Structure 1
Amino acid sequence: MRVFSPLLINTPDIELWPGGLLRARGNHDARALSRARHVLRRKRDGRYLAADLPEGVLPLVHRLFHEPGIDAALDALDHAGLRHHRLLHVGVDRVGTLPLARLCERLDALGIDDDYGQRSGLALVAEPDWLAFAGVDRYRRPLWLHVDAARGWTHLRAAALRDGVVLEAISGYRSHDYQLGIFERKFARGLTLEEILNVNAAPGYSEHHSGLALDIGAPGEPPAEESFEQTPAFAWLQSNAGGHGFVMSYPRDNPHGIVYEPWHWRWQPAR
């Protein structure tokens, strides 16, 4: 079994990023990040909270130990070495999921109740407690996926390249907080909840939360546009993606009421 390294270790409020993958936002951060084994990053806004240095945890914000979720993040940090050891020496580590209680409270505040799931046929999706590094996306950002989807994406992209087709990842895993941020920004632009739900799955209902889905593009093509279906990349995916475990989630007239998304593909384990 191929092991993907490094890993993103996930907690409800804070992500633990491996050192070397995040860009510094100032001289102080640059010095800390250059030596960090892990960086604690707040999920709701991407703020760097602390650097895990060989000599201990260095706070990058005032009152670090009052941050929501910091205890869970530090507990995960304590166990990070054990997780890496299991993956490196045993080759396996179970992917668990994070609790949904915090998300449900925030959905209530948005006015999204259980009826949304029943109407759309979509289920709440828990976030994995760790994700594998699957290279970088079109924008040179780290691409995080469930370890099985990461392996599948690597094989899918390599197979396409052998046939002369270049596939680009546009995005992979997205946290609940990321999806909530989309809604907040669109509310600020004056859109209604109904208008947003016509285009975006409600926070917690997106397949991206699982790390099993990714948006795929082709060089020179705009991201996440229906025009992707006219590309050789899409034609290749239609013929070959299924053999690598990927399916298109939202074809035309899909039962979930989500707009046609020829760019959105999900890794589906063999049954």
Structure 2
Amino acid sequence: MRSDARRSARGPSGTDLINTPDIELWPGGLLRARNGHDARALARARHVLRRKRDGQYLAADLPEGLLPLVQRLTREPGIEQALDALQRAAAPRRPGLERIAELPLDRLEERLHALGLDADGYGERTGLDLVPEPDRLAYAGHDRYRRPLWLHPLAARAWSHLHEAALRDGVVLEAISGYRSHDYQLGIFERKLARGQSVEQILTVNAAPGYSEHHSGLALDIGAPDQPPAEESFETTAAFAWLREHAPGRGFVMSYPRDNPHGIVYEPWHWKFLAA
């Protein structure tokens, strides 16, 4: 998908996540804090600035101005770009004319090198492409774990229609996860490495940071009630049978069938929306 090539299919006003390389701008009302000071600020915020690499809340955009939630906010990497995005978000916008752009693919080689991976070699070996993040994501409800589900606006609309069509047929589809940032994918590797897995073991299940279809916001993992998430047993469910029959006609494809050329294990739960 080329930068700026897609028109946004925006949901209700104020429910988009504004994405920058280091910091996400979440719409107010979706985040919760444990301490009273931050909780009061988040409850009133129009947007919340959230550090991507660890989920730290950085600042709340209140009606009376920006409230820092960390010390030395002005020294935070990427803060100027995030504040510019916040200012643009406050400007009046013409409905239907907004476009989704792609964030630059910077710092990925450094991250892959830290994992002992060569970016060019990995791409050639797997046939996977680098996947940019969109600069805006749409709120698509909540996933199984009551976390906000973020998807590319086109995928969010398509997922809503797919979910509703399944319900009409008596089938419940649960979203397990949607958009993941490059930083989030790196965190998956770091946690699994800390548990003793090797990089090669992880790569059979997770694409390297920068190469996951989840970065685009066009892919999501789907589950069924009372079924474990992201397990091959999903293929035995009525939900999977319904997807096999109906999802392709609604623009969704299963990315990693058996014996796929990318070296990724069979993932009957992973579906991608092919934006037209």
State if a TM-score over 0.5 links the two structures.
yes
Q: Which residue of 1 aligns with 2:181?
A: 175
Query: Quick check: 51-60 or 107-116, which moved more?
Result: 107-116
- Alpha-carbon separation, structure 1, partners of 2:123 and 2:264: 13
The number of residues matched between the two structures is 266
- Residue 9 of structure 2 contacts residue 154 of structure 2 at CA under 8 Å; is this kept in 1? no
Q: Which runs of 4+ in 1 moved over 3 A?
A: none
- Alpha-carbon separation, structure 2, partners of 1:129 and 1:78: 15
Whether 2:47 is the aligned partner of 1:42: answer: no
Whether 2:267 is the aligned partner of 1:258: answer: no
Whether 2:109 is the aligned partner of 1:104: answer: yes
- Alpha-carbon separation, structure 1, partners of 2:260 and 2:212: 15
- Alpha-carbon separation, structure 1, partners of 2:83 and 2:56: 16
The one-letter amino acid of 2:23's match is: I
- Alpha-carbon separation, structure 2, partners of 1:25 and 1:65: 24
- Alpha-carbon separation, structure 1, partners of 2:66 and 2:133: 25
Whether 2:273 is the aligned partner of 1:267: answer: yes
| Pick aligned residue for 1:165 from 138, 158, 171 | 171
- Alpha-carbon separation, structure 2, partners of 1:112 and 1:100: 16
Quote the offset at 1:2 in angstroms.
5.8
Q: Which residue of 2 aligns with 1:17?
A: 26
The one-letter amino acid of 1:206's match is: S
Query: Which deviations, in whole Å up to 9, do the C-alpha atoms of 1:245-268 show, x marking residues without a partner?
Result: 000000000010100000000001
The one-letter amino acid of 1:75's match is: D
The one-letter amino acid of 2:52's match is: K
* Aligned-residue RMSD, C-alpha: 1.2
Query: Which deviations, in whole Å up to 9, do the C-alpha atoms of 1:94-141 show, x marking residues without a partner?
Result: 110111122222212222111001000000000000100111111111
- Alpha-carbon separation, structure 2, partners of 1:2 and 1:197: 33
| Pick aligned residue for 1:3 from 5, 10, 16 | 10
Q: Which residue of 2 aligns with 1:238?
A: 244
Structure 1's unaligned 5+ residue stretches are: none
- Alpha-carbon separation, structure 1, partners of 2:106 and 2:242: 41
Name whichever structure is richer in helix by fraction: 1
Query: Which deviations, in whole Å up to 9, do the C-alpha atoms of 1:197-248 show, x marking residues without a partner?
Result: 1211000000000000000001111110000000000000000001110000
- Alpha-carbon separation, structure 2, partners of 1:74 and 1:2: 24
Q: Secondary structure at the match of 1:133?
A: strand
Query: Which deviations, in whole Å up to 9, do the C-alpha atoms of 1:56-114 show, x marking residues without a partner?
Result: 110000111111111111111010123xx43xx42231110111122222212222111
Whether 2:218 is the aligned partner of 1:209: answer: no
Q: Secondary structure at the match of 2:210?
A: coil
- Taking a change above 3 Å as real, the CA distance of residues 64 and 176 of structure 1, as seen in their structure-2 partners, is same
- Alpha-carbon separation, structure 1, partners of 2:164 and 2:97: 23
- Alpha-carbon separation, structure 2, partners of 1:11 and 1:178: 14
- Alpha-carbon separation, structure 2, partners of 1:48 and 1:95: 25
The one-letter amino acid of 1:228's match is: F
Could you state the TM-score of these two structures normalised by the residue count of structure 2? 0.94
Q: Secondary structure at the match of 2:141?
A: strand
Whether 2:160 is the aligned partner of 1:154: answer: yes
- Alpha-carbon separation, structure 2, partners of 1:9 and 1:267: 21
- Residue 45 of structure 2 contacts residue 62 of structure 2 at CA under 8 Å; is this kept in 1? yes
- Alpha-carbon separation, structure 2, partners of 1:163 and 1:20: 33
- Alpha-carbon separation, structure 2, partners of 1:148 and 1:262: 22
Structure 2's unaligned 5+ residue stretches are: 1-7
Q: Which residue of 2 aligns with 1:121?
A: 127
The one-letter amino acid of 1:112's match is: L
- Alpha-carbon separation, structure 1, partners of 2:202 and 2:188: 9
Query: Which deviations, in whole Å up to 9, do the C-alpha atoms of 1:34-55 show, x marking residues without a partner?
Result: 1100000000110000000111
| Pick aligned residue for 1:93 from 79, 91, 98 | 98
Could you state the TM-score of these two structures normalised by the residue count of structure 1? 0.96
The one-letter amino acid of 2:126's match is: S
Quote the offset at 1:22 in angstroms.
0.4
- Residue 9 of structure 2 contacts residue 153 of structure 2 at CA under 8 Å; is this kept in 1? no
